[in-house]
């Protein structure tokens, strides 16, 4: 489905961010990309849809060579790749609905997007997706009125509105609390399974990665140093990826934190807890 051949990126500053990464992602496979800061994770997924221009190697989506494309072809390829961002990257002053519909920009002519006259099928799909991520009643709110977890749900709906064949997900939980992080990862996982969508997820939280992905790729200094199922990710491998650290103690502590969080929120339902928090937020603003 997605195939990278010796993908390389050297920035103008001389940083060699990617040193010939080759890998293949099959249909419906969820890949977690882990590695220390500056390992090239973010560069790697941005090279796939060419938000960052690779300096060597090739990217294939199906049979299409994305690296050989330019202009309109590239835009047509990009619309098949949904992307979800770290800080949500919603257009803050637009409404939730406009943000979701912006997933159709690659499909509709300029005048339709300019006048917000999207084809009915696109609007139906957008409403269905908002329903799916639990935000149906927020369609006409401005994106900056939502809480972090809600914004990321909008980000997910926007990516799915594209009818993607592949999801690129850049640190989806980096600005979320532990509980919301798990909810978002679970939602992503469910959606990928429903549509057998492959996904590449940059994620710095190793525990979360082990919980929700099928396969883990460890990136260090622009090179793949581990590629295997989450079960094989032991202390030795973590040391190979991140360098020496007391992994066992860290994981025990993190597990305890997660349990505490679960107990603290145990009384609330999954969505109810988040809804309440966002209401508090809005009340605080008013």
Binding site for other proteins (CB under 8 A): 49, 51, 75-81, 83, 85-87, 89-94, 98, 102-107, 110, 113-114, 155, 158, 162, 168
Please report how close the Cβ of residue 210 comes to other proteins at its closest, in angstroms: 27
The residue (of 94 and 211) whose beta carbon lies closer to other proteins is: 94
Our separate counts of H helices and E strands in the chain read 11, 10
The residue (of 172 and 178) whose beta carbon lies closer to other proteins is: 172
Listed residue (41, 23, 31) closest to 197, CA to CA? 31
Please report how close the Cβ of residue 166 comes to other proteins at its closest, in angstroms: 12
Q: Largest alpha-carbon pair distance within the chain?
A: 57
Please report how close the Cβ of residue 268 comes to other proteins at its closest, in angstroms: 31
How many alpha carbons fall within 13 Å on the CB side of residue 46? 15
What are the φ and ψ backbone dihedral angles of 254, each rounded to 5 degrees?
A: -65, -40
Please report how close the Cβ of residue 229 comes to other proteins at its closest, in angstroms: 29
* Ramachandran area for residue 35 (φ above 0: left; ψ -120 to 50: alpha; else beta): left
List CB contacts of 42: < 8 A, sequence separation 6 or more.
170, 171, 202
Q: What is the DSSP letter of 196?
A: T
Please report how close the Cβ of residue 89 comes to other proteins at its closest, in angstroms: 4
């Amino acid at each position: 489905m997605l195939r990278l051949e010796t993908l390389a990126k050297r920035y103008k500053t001389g940083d060699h961010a990617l040193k010939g990464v080759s890998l293949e992602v099959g249909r419906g496979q969820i890949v977690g990309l882990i590695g220390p800061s500056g390992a090239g994770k973010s560069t790697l997924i941005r090279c796939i849809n060419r938000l960052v221009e690779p300096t060597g190697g090739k990217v294939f989506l199906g049979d299409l060579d994305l690296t050989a494309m330019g202009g309109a072809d590239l835009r047509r390829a990009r619309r098949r790749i949904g992307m979800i961002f770290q800080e949500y990257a919603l257009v803050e002053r637009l409404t939730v609905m406009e943000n979701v519909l912006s997933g159709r920009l690659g499909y509709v002519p300029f005048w339709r997007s300019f006048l917000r006259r999207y084809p009915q099928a696109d609007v139906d799909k957008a409403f269905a997706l908002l329903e799916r991520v639990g935000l149906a009643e927020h369609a006409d709110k401005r994106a900056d009125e939502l809480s972090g977890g809600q914004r990321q749900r909008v980000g997910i709906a926007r990516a799915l509105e594209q009818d993607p064949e592949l999801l690129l997900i850049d640190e989806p939980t980096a600005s979320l609390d532990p509980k919301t992080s798990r909810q978002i990862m679970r939602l992503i996982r469910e959606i990928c399974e429903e549509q057998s969508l492959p996904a590449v997820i940059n994620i710095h939280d190793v525990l979360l990665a082990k919980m929700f992905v099928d396969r883990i790729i460890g990136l260090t200094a622009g090179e793949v140093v581990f590629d295997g199922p989450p079960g094989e990710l032991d202390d030795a491998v973590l040391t190979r990826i991140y360098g020496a650290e007391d992994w066992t103690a860290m994981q025990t502590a993190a597990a305890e934190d997660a349990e505490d969080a679960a107990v603290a929120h145990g009384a609330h339902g999954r969505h109810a807890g988040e809804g309440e928090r966002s209401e508090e937020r809005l009340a605080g603003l008013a």
